[in-house]
Amino acid sequence: MNRGDMEEVMKEKGKVCLTGGSGYLVAWMVMRLLQLGYYVNTTIRSHPDVKKDVSYLTNLPGAQKKLNIFNVEGCIGVFHVAHPIDFENKETEETITKRTINGAIGILQTCLD
């Protein structure tokens, strides 16, 4: 996406999607995009042993009307910020790199479809 395309997306004020909604950076991006009037969809990393408290996102001003967690269909843009993390330090750097690349390719493919 070139700068002109990005400016066009930002003018639309439609729905955007951010991956990695449980991260610090994305929480700030969600807040700023809501302030700018966007409808925001975000994903949250799921872990079988952890129930994530997302009140820091759902309590943001404008979140009740303009924040949707998990749904990515119908977005005009995607901010891919998520990154796989090996919490138990059991995966090799090569495995994590492959997961990162495959995740990015999957998101790009979804955008094309």
pLDDT band at 61 (very low <50, low <70, confident <90, very high): very high
Res. 47: pLDDT tops 60: no
Res. 1: pLDDT tops 60: no
The domain spans of the chain are 3-82
Fold of domain 3-82: Rossmann fold (3.40.50)
Is 81 in a helix, a strand, or coil? coil
Whether the Cβ atoms of residue 2 and residue 8 lie closer than 8 Å to each other? no
Whether the Cβ atoms of residue 13 and residue 38 lie closer than 8 Å to each other? yes
Q: Which two tokens stand for residue 86?
A: 């090996």
